[in-house]
């Protein structure tokens, strides 16, 4: 049975039982605790936490949620059941059925015949575990289902008690296992061997509330929840492994084709060697995870989600290389996994080119990293041999791995080829410290979850009605007041307050557009609103200060938008859509939005693109944008279903979760069509001129364009024109000839600076002989420590130091030169061959000097450079070097 059919059967089973089907959320959710969605219940968390009431008619739901877990990424491929990306099929009950319902639903699907829509598993091969004292669940399994008592095992809190890892809902769980047979391990059920007995489904009986604590079993049970809920998770990949009768999850229909492709590209054979099998599995697993992350808008970077993606892609490249690949492989791997996953995720088809571009560009960059890392390794290896250690230090291996992205496997392989060992213990110790820091940070973030239960009453019963698309003011009723996390009945002058109204014309921040500014007027009061935010996508929170009078619950008020703010905000938001359309016209369909922010008169637009834009491309983008403004396109908004909007060609944002009904903003027909809930102008000409300020990099593979719109754009252009006119007047050059004139002056300036630098070098060279005479004895060494004239460059320091070292080559001499310029102190230490033989290390002396002049640096034993920030400490630094040498 193919995986996509397993998915279809699961959903059909629960829809037929009255559950509402809920599409998978994006892997990226706005949750401070999570990098990625890591469990099927995550999108339902507000309902389990009591922040919102479930919107499902029968109080039940079902979904197949895409998930990513990367905490134990190094274990991928070693165990044959672990994937970083997996599909969690689940059914959820919010105060409806409980243990018996969850158990009977699961048993019916697992053991039901194929003809009736079930999975057709043999009941005699199913085992279950329950929590230690959960007699109720054990009795249901035995009395209701008929499972023999000896196939029902009890485990403790660490195994059979579920929580989110933070204070909140929790409860015992019952896990269902499939016996794969004696060839996979010993008898005795899951307690005896969890490799033979594969867990396929976890039924969580969410009935209690837990307190604070760390770990799976180190927390207090505070008491029962008001309602008993059900949260289950079936591992789609594990069921596929069983139904397709393959050895492990890497050999199912979704991943095995990638392994086959890897065999072709590397020349190695899957199943021949254990070490190679791990690498094949890494390639298959990470290719799928990387593809799904890119699909949802993640791009490679140096932190957060981007770092995880980069690490996955680099592990693919590393594994392919170790299997024998000599060239690029990413395109073939990603193309293969897109082919296998598209039947379950049709949206992949429209993003193939973008996904490939992101993955292939990262491969090209990493192959260059491997090249530079190889050169660095050669230096490290040479130092190890010169020092006679025969070992590459753990710190060096860690630096290669962590700073330069050079995999430890390659370090080990190349060290062996060079006849060297690697201090693996030291490397692992540093890696462990890094992991501990990451886990501590993760735990700290978990406790940062914001408690929104204060607003639940209004979210559930009084969602705000937004009327601001059609009007800038409205009559409303005050439903709630909050100040500093406390509910109020009234607020008086000077009080910071959050006002909740039954309806409002003020726009709440969303989609990159900042919330409106405005006022709320009562009979005798005025509240100045400086921000509007949403809670639960339903409730508008008007944040402000009572300027005059007072406001109280039940007041009839008038909410008014600042018209100038809204007008300029509309201009910027509509301008953002035009910039996006122009970008795609110039750069192609792979330049898609990665974020935006717009406020009155200003917009910034982030997009996925691997290279800096050329001046010509920037000119094109600005020209196309302003041509659209001049065309006076009508701006239309259409409310329709998500499927219909996609059929129309409307663009959706990656990582966003849309409802059943969406709003499409169309500017100029096919020119721009996006899903957007923001406010916009009625005609494109109302945007006014758009002045593009420039573009820059904000992360690897992510660029940013910034621009002014409307009157702010006009003012910016007017200042630019005045500046150009002033330059033209000063240089007595027509404005249109300014670029050439400035280029000529720049070249003259560079030539003059170069001539001055040459003269300085000549003067320094002439003084070199005189400097030698300043050398003084420091124990058995000859020490020359002096400053050079201000303006001496770092490169000149090296030239002079090299010349002095050659002139003093017949002595055990140490040369220390500094060239202070203000508080900055570039400096260098050089040692002749005799001094180095006597134990002098220039790098150590540089570090010693750094303690006196607030500096740092490094280098080789014969020459090292540094820079300090405290010129006043130079005399003490010179004296310290002299004392250090005298003691040798």
Domain CATH for 597: 3.30.980.10
pLDDT > 70: percent of the chain: 94
Residue reference for tokens 């898609």: 592
Q: What pLDDT is stored for residue 501 in this prediction? A: 96
What is the C-alpha to C-alpha distance for residues 530 and 541, in angstroms, rounded to an integer? 11
Residues 613 and 633 in one domain: yes
What's the pLDDT tens digit per position in 160-204? Answer: 998 866 677 889 999 999 999 999 999 999 999 988 999 999 999
What is the C-alpha to C-alpha distance for residues 862 and 847, in angstroms, rounded to an integer? 14
Contact 285, 249 (CB under 8 A): no
pLDDT at 442 over 60: no
Whether 741 maps to a domain, the answer reads no
Residues 112 and 245 in one domain: yes
pLDDT mean over 360-388: 81
Map residue 76 onto helix, strand or coil. Answer: strand
- The token duo for 70 is 């990367």
- Measured in whole angstroms, the distance separating CA 443 from the mean position of its chain's CA atoms is 17
Residue where a domain terminates, one of 653, 687, 721: 721
Domain CATH for 539: 2.40.30.130
Residue where a domain terminates, one of 535, 561, 587: 561
What's the pLDDT tens digit per position in 536-572? Answer: 788 999 999 999 999 999 999 999 999 999 999 999 9
Residue numbers in the known binding site for Zn(2+) are 573, 577, 676, 680
Residues 655 and 533 in one domain: no
pLDDT mean over 804-819: 92
Residues 151 and 100 in one domain: yes
Q: What pLDDT is stored for residue 449 in this prediction? A: 40
Residues 28 and 158 in one domain: yes
pLDDT tier at 654 (50, 70, 90 boundaries)? low
C-alpha distances in angstroms, 876 versus 237, 638, 848? 68, 75, 11
pLDDT mean over 420-448: 67
- Measured in whole angstroms, the distance separating CA 444 from the mean position of its chain's CA atoms is 18
pLDDT tier at 447 (50, 70, 90 boundaries)? very low
Domain CATH for 168: 3.30.930.10
Domain CATH for 827: 3.10.310.40
Which residues form the domain of 402?
256-446
Residues 269 and 388 in one domain: yes
Q: What pLDDT is stored for residue 452 in this prediction? A: 65
Whether 150 maps to a domain, the answer reads yes
Residue numbers in the known binding site are 573, 577, 676, 680
Residue where a domain terminates, one of 395, 413, 446: 446
pLDDT at 450 over 60: no
Whether 757 maps to a domain, the answer reads no
Q: What pLDDT is stored for residue 650 in this prediction? A: 79
Residues 309 and 386 in one domain: yes
Residues 603 and 647 in one domain: yes
Whether 146 maps to a domain, the answer reads yes
Q: What pLDDT is stored for residue 360 in this prediction? A: 92
For the chain, how far is it from start to end, CA to CA, in angstroms? 78
Residues 20 and 115 in one domain: yes
What is the C-alpha to C-alpha distance for residues 569 and 564, in angstroms, rounded to an integer? 8
Q: What pLDDT is stored for residue 528 in this prediction? A: 96
Q: What pLDDT is stored for residue 271 in this prediction? A: 92
Q: Mean of the per-residue pLDDT values for the chain?
A: 88
Residues 485 and 505 in one domain: yes
Residues 57 and 114 in one domain: yes
pTM greater than 0.75: no
Q: Please report which residue ranges of 251-326 form alpha helices under DSSP H.
A: 256-266, 274-295, 304-323
Buried-exposed string 281-309: b where 16+ CB fall within 10 A, e elsewhere: bbbbbbbbbbbbbbbbbbbbbeeebbebb
Whether 738 maps to a domain, the answer reads no
pLDDT tier at 645 (50, 70, 90 boundaries)? confident
C-alpha distances in angstroms, 177 versus 76, 151, 216, 258, 260? 21, 10, 21, 28, 29
């Amino acid at each position: 049975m193919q995986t996509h059919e397993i998915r279809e059967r699961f959903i059909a089973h629960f829809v037929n039982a009255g559950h509402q089907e809920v599409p998978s959320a994006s892997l990226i959710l706005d949750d401070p605790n999570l990098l990625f969605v890591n469990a099927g219940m995550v999108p339902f968390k507000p309902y389990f936490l009591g922040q919102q009431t479930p919107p499902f008619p029968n109080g039940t739901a079902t979904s197949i949620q895409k998930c990513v877990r990367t905490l134990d990424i190094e274990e991928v491929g070693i165990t044959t059941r672990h994937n970083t990306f997996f599909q969690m099929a689940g059914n959820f009950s919010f105060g409806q059925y409980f243990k018996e319902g969850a158990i009977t639903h699961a048993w019916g699907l697992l053991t039901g015949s194929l003809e009736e829509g079930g999975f057709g598993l043999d009941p005699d091969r199913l085992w279950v575990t329950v929590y230690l004292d959960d007699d109720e669940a054990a009795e249901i399994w035995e009395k209701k289902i008929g499972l023999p008592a000896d196939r029902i095992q009890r485990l403790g809190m660490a195994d059979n008690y579920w929580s989110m890892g933070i204070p909140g809902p929790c409860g015992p769980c019952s896990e269902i296992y499939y016996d794969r047979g004696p060839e996979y391990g010993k008898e005795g059920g899951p307690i005896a061997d969890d490799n033979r007995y594969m867990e396929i489904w976890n039924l969580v009986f969410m009935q209690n509330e837990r307190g604070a604590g760390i770990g799976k079993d180190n927390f207090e049970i505070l008491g029962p929840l008001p309602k008993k809920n059900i949260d289950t998770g079936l591992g789609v990949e594990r069921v596929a492994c069983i139904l397709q009768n393959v050895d492990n999850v890497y050999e199912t229909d979704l991943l095995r084709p990638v392994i086959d492709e890897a065999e072709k590209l590397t020349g190695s054979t899957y199943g021949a060697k254990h070490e190679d099998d791990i690498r094949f599995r890494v390639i298959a697993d990470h290719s799928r995870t990387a593809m799904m992350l890119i699909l949802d808008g993640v791009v490679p970077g140096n932190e957060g989600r981007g770092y995880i993606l980069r690490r996955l892609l680099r592990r693919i490249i590393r594994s392919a290389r170790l299997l024998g690949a000599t060239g690029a492989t990413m395109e073939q791997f990603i193309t293969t996994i897109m082919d296998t996953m598209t039947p379950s995720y049709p949206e992949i088809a429209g993003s193939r080119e973008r996904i490939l571009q992101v993955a292939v560009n990262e491969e090209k960059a990493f192959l260059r990293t491997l090249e530079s890392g190889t050169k660095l390794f050669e230096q490290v290896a040479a130092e190890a041999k010169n020092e006679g250690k025969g070992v590459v230090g753990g710190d060096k291996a860690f630096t290669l791995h962590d700073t330069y992205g050079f995999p430890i496997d390659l370090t080990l392989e190349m060290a062996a080829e060079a006849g060297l060992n690697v201090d693996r213990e030291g490397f692992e110790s540093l890696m462990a410290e890094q992991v501990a820091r990451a886990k501590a940070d993760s735990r700290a973030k978990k406790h940062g979850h914001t408690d929104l239960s204060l607003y639940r009453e209004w979210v559930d019963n009084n969602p705000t009605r937004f009327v601001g698309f059609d009007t800038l003011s409205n009559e409303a009723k005050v439903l709630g007041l909050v100040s500093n996390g406390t509910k109020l009945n009234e607020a008086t002058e000077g009080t910071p307050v959050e006002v909740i109204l039954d309806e409002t014309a003020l726009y709440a921040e969303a989609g990159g557009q900042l919330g409106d500014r405005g006022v709320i007027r009562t009979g005798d009061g005025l509240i100045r609103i400086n921000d509007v935010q949403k809670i639960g996508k339903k409730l508008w929170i008007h944040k402000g200060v009572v300027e005059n009078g007072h406001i109280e619950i039940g007041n009839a008020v008038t909410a008014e938008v600042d018209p100038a703010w809204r007008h300029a905000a509309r201009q910027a938001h509509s301008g953002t859509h035009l910039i996006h359309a122009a970008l795609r016209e110039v750069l192609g369909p792979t330049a898609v939005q990665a974020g935006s922010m717009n406020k009155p008169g200003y917009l910034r637009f982030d997009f996925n693109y691997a290279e800096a834009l050329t001046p010509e491309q920037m000119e094109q983008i600005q020209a196309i944008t302003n041509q659209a403004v001049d065309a006076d396109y009508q701006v239309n908004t259409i409310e329709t279903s998500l499927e219909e909007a996609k059929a129309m060609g409307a663009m959706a944002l990656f990582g966003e979760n849309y409802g059943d009904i969406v709003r499409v903003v169309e500017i100029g027909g096919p020119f721009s069509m996006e899903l957007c809930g923001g406010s916009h102008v009625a005609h494109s000409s109302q945007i006014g001129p758009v002045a593009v300020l420039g573009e820059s990099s904000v992360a690897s593979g992510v660029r940013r364009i910034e621009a002014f719109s409307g009157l702010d754009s006009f003012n910016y252009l007017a200042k630019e024109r005045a500046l150009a006119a002033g330059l033209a007047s000063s240089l007595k050059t027509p404005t249109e000839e300014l670029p050439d004139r400035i280029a000529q002056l720049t070249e003259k300036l560079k030539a003059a600076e170069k001539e001055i630098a040459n003269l300085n070098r000549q003067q320094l060279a002439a003084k070199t002989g005189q400097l030698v005479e300043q050398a003084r004895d420091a124990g058995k060494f000859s020490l020359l420590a002096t400053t050079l004239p201000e303006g001496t460059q770092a490169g000149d320091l090296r030239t002079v130091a090299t010349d002095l070292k050659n002139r003093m080559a017949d002595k055990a001499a140490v040369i220390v030169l500094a060239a202070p310029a203000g508080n900055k102190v570039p400096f260098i230490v050089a040692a002749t061959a005799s001094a180095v033989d006597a134990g002098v290390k220039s790098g150590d002396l540089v570090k010693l000097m750094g303690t006196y002049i607030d500096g740092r640096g490094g280098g080789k034993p014969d020459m090292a450079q540094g820079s300090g920030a405290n010129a006043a400490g130079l005399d003490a630094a010179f004296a310290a070097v002299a004392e250090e040498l005298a003691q040798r």
